[in-house]
């Protein structure tokens, strides 16, 4: 672990989501704005506050408040950087927590955002009423959606039908998070599908159009809910699993009959009475938010893998 940085927020607030640009987008922004760092992530707080976290070097992390609370709705667990414009502006999609989400544009001064599109979110629907207007030949649904100041009554008059092309068996019910993972950075298609449930984690290998459960050979902690599962850039087939009590680096065995000559397994655990709240992986860096009863800190782990000859 290199360093710890206190998060710039009041006690009791929660960082709910994060997003970082692709390598291409980061390089593009750096070429457009020379002073802009190459390593940065966006962090969303539950009250609608948005920060940009710049990783300058191993001892310097800068937090910049981009959007104060009340500018955005409650930020949920979904956030993703979409693209970078030629003007240096960046687009981010944000999911709302029991409120509408939005597509926002971070202006080139990196201090303001502009909401370009609203993403309707009806959840949670606490109650609804279906009415059949006289002689209109279709029903209308009124729903009680959202919570608190984001609560609303919404009307649905028409909807677009959905054709289900394929579906999984019932054993996949209750999935809370999904990650598509590649065997190597050179591959175009994903080779693994990681699934997190409320109390467990599974890893599937994608081969010949089918999902094969290789959880027992994954090296992961399976009886936990995972916060993040990601590739480690630069090493083929190496994955990172982060849950509340540990960070695990492993090289899953795809085939039981295949004996791996080079087996990788490493584990890092947080200090006593500390849990991991949020995690992200960038190349071979793992960024985690560590929480105790009284404080939250940001920690960065670097994964260095050396094969013995």
For residue range 31-70, list pLDDT tens digits in order: 544 455 557 778 787 777 887 777 776 667 777 777 655 5
Q: Report if pTM > 0.85.
A: no
- CATH fold of the domain at 167-309: Methylamine Dehydrogenase; Chain H (2.130.10)
Please state whether beta strands 75-84 and 60-67 pair in parallel, antiparallel, or not at all (unpaired).
unpaired
Structure tokens at 39: 């390593």
- Tokens 């260095």 sit on residue: 304
Q: Is the pLDDT of residue 9 over 80?
A: no
Domain residue spans of the chain = 1-120, 125-156, 167-309
pLDDT at 256: 58
Q: What is the DSSP letter of 196?
A: E
- Range picked from 25-39, 207-221, 254-268 for highest mean pLDDT: 207-221
Which of 227, 218, 176 minimizes the C-alpha distance to 197?
Answer: 176
Distance CA 286, CA 55 (A): 12
């Amino acid at each position: 672990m290199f360093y710890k940085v206190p998060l710039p927020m009041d006690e009791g607030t929660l960082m709910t989501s994060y997003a970082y640009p692709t390598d291409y987008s980061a390089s593009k922004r750096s070429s457009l704005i020379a002073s802009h760092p190459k390593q940065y992530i966006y962090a969303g707080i539950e009250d609608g506050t948005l920060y940009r976290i710049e990783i300058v070097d191993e001892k310097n992390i800068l937090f910049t408040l981009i959007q104060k609370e009340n500018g955005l709705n409650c930020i949920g667990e979904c956030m993703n950087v979409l693209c970078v414009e030629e003007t240096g502006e960046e687009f981010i999609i944000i999911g709302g927590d029991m409120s509408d989400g939005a597509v926002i544009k971070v202006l080139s001064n990196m201090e303001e955002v502009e909401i370009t599109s609203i993403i309707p979110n009806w959840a949670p629907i606490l109650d609804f009423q279906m009415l059949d207007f006289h002689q209109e030949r279709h029903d209308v649904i009124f729903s009680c959606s959202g919570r608190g100041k984001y609560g609303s009554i919404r009307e649905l008059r028409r909807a677009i039908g959905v054709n289900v092309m394929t579906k999984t068996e019932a054993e996949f019910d209750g999935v809370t998070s999904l990650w598509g993972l590649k065997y190597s950075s050179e591959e175009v298609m994903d080779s693994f599908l990681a699934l997190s449930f409320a109390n467990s984690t599974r890893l599937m290998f994608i081969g010949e159009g089918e999902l094969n459960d290789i959880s027992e050979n994954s090296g992961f902690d399976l009886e936990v809910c995972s916060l993040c599962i990601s590739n480690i850039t630069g090493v083929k087939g190496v994955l990172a699993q982060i849950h509340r009590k540990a960070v695990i680096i492993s090289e899953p065995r795809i085939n039981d009959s295949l004996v791996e000559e080079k087996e990788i397994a490493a584990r890092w655990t947080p200090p006593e009475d500390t849990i991991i709240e949020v995690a992200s992986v960038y190349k071979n860096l793992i960024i985690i938010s560590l929480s105790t009863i009284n404080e939250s800190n940001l920690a960065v782990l670097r994964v260095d893998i050396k094969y013995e000859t």
